[in-house]
Structure 1
Amino acid sequence: MFILWGSPSGAEASDFKAISRQNVAQIIITSEKNNNYIGDNENPTIIYHNTIISSKNIEVPRVAILLPLSGKYKKLGQSMLNAAQLALFHFADKNFELLPLDTKGTINGARVAGATAIREDAELILGPVFNTAVKAIESMTSQSGITVLAFSSDYTVAGNNIFTMGFLPSEQVRRIVKFSIEKGIRRFALIAPNNNYGQAVYSALRSTVNLYGATLTSEVLYDINTKNFSPIIRGLANFDMRQRMLTQEKSQLLNQNNNVAKKALLALNGVQTIGELPFDALLIADGGERLRSIAALLPHYDLDPKKVKMLGTGQWDTGGLGSEPALLGGWFSSPSSQGRREFVIRYENIYGETPHRLATLAYDATALAAVFAQSNKDDRQIKLPSKTQFFRNMNITSPRGFLGLDGIFRFSKKGYVERGLAVFEIKMRGIKLISPAPQKFFSQDKE
Structure 2
Amino acid sequence: MCRQPAHDDGGRPVQLSGNRSGSCWASHAALQLVLAALVALALAACAGPTVDGGRAGDQSRSGLPPLPPLPDLRTGEGAAGAPLQRLPIPPDGTVRVAILLPLSGASAELSQSMLNAAEMAVFEIADDKFVLMPFDTKGTAEGAAAAAEQAIRGGAQLILGPLLAASVEAVAPLARTAGVHVVSFSNSQSVAGNGVFIMGFVPQQQVEAIVDFAVAKGLMRHAVLAPQDAYGNAVVDTMRTALLPRNGTLVRTHFYDPNAGDFSSDVKVVADYDQRRTALLQQRALLQRQHDEVSRQALKRLENRDTIGDVDFNAMLLPATGQTLRSLASLLSYYDVDLPAVRFLGLRNWDEIEKPQAEPALTGSWFAAPAPAARQRFEERFKEAFGRAPARLASLAYDSTALAATLAQDGGEPRFGFEALTIANGFEGVDGLFRLEANGVAQRKFAILEVRKAGVQMIQAPPTVFAPMTN
TM-score by length of 1: 0.87
Which residue of 1 is the match for residue 20 of structure 2?
8
Q: Please say if 1:428 is aligned against 2:462.
A: no
The offset of 1:224, in angstroms, is 2.4
Shift in alpha-carbon separation, 1:272–1:41, aligned structure 2, 3 A: closer
Identity %: 39
Number of residue equivalences = 410
Look up the equivalent residue of 2:47 and give its one-letter code. P
In the alignment, which residue of structure 2 is the partner of 1:20?
Answer: none
1:37-52 to 2 correspondences below 5 Å? 37=38, 38-39=40-41, 41=44, 43-44=46-47
Contact 2:338 2:344 (C-alpha < 8 Å) held by counterparts: no
Gaps of 5+ in 2: 1-12, 27-32, 50-61, 63-89
Partner of 1:292: 326
CA drift at 1:303 = 1.2
Tell me the amino acid that sits aligned with residue 362 of structure 2: L
Whether contact under 8 Å (1:413, 1:446) holds in the other structure is no
- Report what 1:158 is aligned to: 192
Residues 102-137 of structure 1 show CA distances to partners (whole Å, capped at 9, x for unaligned) of: 122223322222222223221101011122221222
One of 379, 386, 396 as aligned partner of 1:351: 386
1:341 and 2:366 aligned: no
TM-score, length-scaled by structure 2: 0.83
Corresponding letter in the other structure for 1:231: S
Q: Cα deviation per residue 1:363-412 (whole Å; 9 max; x = unaligned)?
A: 111111111111226x7xxxxxxxxx542475211111111111111121
Measured against aligned partners, the alpha-carbon deviations of 1:307-351 in whole angstroms (never above 9, x if no partner) come to 210110011113211011110010000011111111110110111
Separation of aligned partners in 2, 1:371 and 1:176: 31
> 1:412–1:446: 8 Å Cα contact kept in structure 2?
no
Identify unmatched segments of 5+ residues in structure 1. 15-32, 50-55, 380-388
Matching residue of 1:396: 421
Higher strand fraction (1 or 2): 1
Alignment counterpart, residue 227 of structure 2, candidates 193, 197, 206: 193
Q: Is the 8 A contact 1:4 1:403 kept in 2?
A: yes
Contact 1:3 1:402 in 2 (8 A): yes
Q: Is the 8 A contact 2:46 2:136 kept in 1?
A: no
1:95 matched residue in structure 2: 129
| Aligned equivalents of 1:10, 1:446: Cα separation in 2 | 42
Give the 3 Å change call, closer, same or farther, for CA 41–166 of structure 1 in structure 2: closer
Q: Aligned pair in 2 of structure 1 residues 42, 337: CA closer, same or farther (>3 Å)?
A: closer
Separation of aligned partners in 2, 1:160 and 1:11? 43
Distance 1:342 1:119, change over 3 A: same
Give 1:57 shift: 5.5
1:42 positional shift: 5.9
Inter-partner Cα distance in structure 2 for 1:218 and 1:446? 34
Kindly indicate whether residue 357 of structure 2 is the aligned counterpart of residue 322 of structure 1.
yes
Partners of 1:58 and 1:138 in 2: CA distance:
28
- Which range moved further: 421-430 or 250-259? 250-259
- Mapped contact 1:127–1:149 kept (Cα < 8 A): yes
Asked whether the 8 Å contact 2:223–2:250 carries over to 1, the reply is: yes
1:216 and 2:263 aligned: no
**Alignment partner, residue 431 of structure 2:** 406
Question: For structure 1, which segment, 400-409 or 5-14, has the greater mean C-alpha deviation from structure 2 after superposition?
Answer: 5-14
Aligned letter for 1:370?
A
Q: 1:42 to 1:433 in 2, by over 3 A?
A: closer
Query: Which runs of structure 2 are paired with 1:25-424 in the superposition (5 Å)?
Result: 35=35, 36-37=37-38, 38-39=40-41, 41=44, 43-44=46-47, 58-317=92-351, 318-376=353-411, 389-392=414-417, 395-424=420-449
Q: Distance in 2 between matches of 1:174 and 1:167?
A: 13
Mapped contact 1:114–1:140 kept (Cα < 8 A): yes
Q: Is the 8 A contact 2:45 2:135 kept in 1?
A: no
SS in 1 for 2:433: strand
3-state SS of 1:149 partner: strand
Corresponding residue SS for 1:304: coil
Q: Which amino acid aligns with 1:122?
A: A
Q: CA deviation at 1:233?
A: 0.3
1:445 match: 469
CA drift of 1:63 comes to 0.7
